[in-house]
Amino acid sequence: MEQLRKILRFTSCAAVSESVDELAVVYPDRSNQVPKRCFLPPTPEHDSKDSSKGLDAYRQLNDLIFPAFRSRELFAYAFGRQCLEQNRFVAEGWDVYDATAEYHRQNIVNNGWRISAVNEDYSFCDTYPSLLAVPVDVSDDLLIQSAPHRANFRVPVLSWLHPESRASLTRASQPMVGLQNRRNSADEQLVELIRTANANTSDLLILDARSQVSNLVLFSSLFTLVRPPIVLSA
């Protein structure tokens, strides 16, 4: 592969070169069509109406980023091995991210939330982090009692907290309500404590990010159709 000593800038619409050292090509749309145009520096050897170089650049990059099955190892592994050989990273990858330090950086412990170690060994929920952020009034026992009501035990936990307004963004899986529209008092208490964790508002918006088709499929297989909302507090 000929080394391309230029800056590649991809865009979903158009790209205009700002200098002779820059090559910009049009990124393919969601239909996976290859770029139609390539905008190159206005030099004699480059014609802005010719997309051949842009197509070639796209194909080479696409081959490196998404290699064919077993034809070439993924870039992340090749780059990681090179970094290890050159001793560029002295720390273990598992030690790069410190969940406790990150939670303290967000200052959640001083804003009505706490760090729970209920999932420290991943036995509580194997698809959740080992440390979870929950309202300060939520005990580990409450999490354990509410977990069976959620698919895969993914109870509502904190994803993001605004540093000033204390508005929170929490995530959870769908409730296992079933055909009989079952309820779980511990789960309802957990949701209520999330609502009251922000003293600046009395409203809690619950959004279902699944499509209607996905909702119906889950209902037919797991009986998790979202029912009309239950008002927990006036």
Residue 15 included in any domain: yes
Cite the DSSP H helix spans in the chain: 52-65, 75-85, 99-105, 140-146, 185-196, 212-222
Who's near 153: CB < 8 A, 6+ residues apart? 124, 125, 128, 147
Which of 85, 110, 145 is the C-terminal boundary of a domain? 85
Residue 176 included in any domain: yes
Distance CA 65, CA 58 (A): 10
pTM given for the model: 0.58
pLDDT band, residue 232 (cuts 50/70/90): low
Residue 2 included in any domain: no
Q: What is the mean pLDDT of residues 61-86?
A: 77
Chain centroid, CA 199 distance in Å: 27
* Comparison of pLDDT for 92 and 173, the residue scoring more: 173
Q: What is the mean pLDDT of residues 138-162?
A: 95
Query: Which SS3 state, helix, strand or coil, does residue 60 take?
Result: helix
Residue 157 included in any domain: yes
Handedness of CA 101, 106, 107, 111 (dihedral sign): negative
Distance CA 49, CA 43 (A): 12
Answer yes or no: do 47 and 109 share one domain. no
Which of 62, 85, 108 is the C-terminal boundary of a domain? 85
State residue 79's pLDDT score. 82
pLDDT band, residue 158 (cuts 50/70/90): very high
What's the number of domains the chain is made of? 2
Q: Find the domain containing 196 and state its range.
A: 99-222
Answer yes or no: do 142 and 104 share one domain. yes
Dihedral of CA atoms 76, 129, 184, 171 in degrees, nearest 10, equals -60
H or E stretch at 8: strand 7-11
Query: Which SS3 state, helix, strand or coil, does residue 11 take?
Result: strand
State residue 176's pLDDT score. 86
Distance CA 206, CA 72 (A): 44
* Comparison of pLDDT for 139 and 21, the residue scoring more: 139
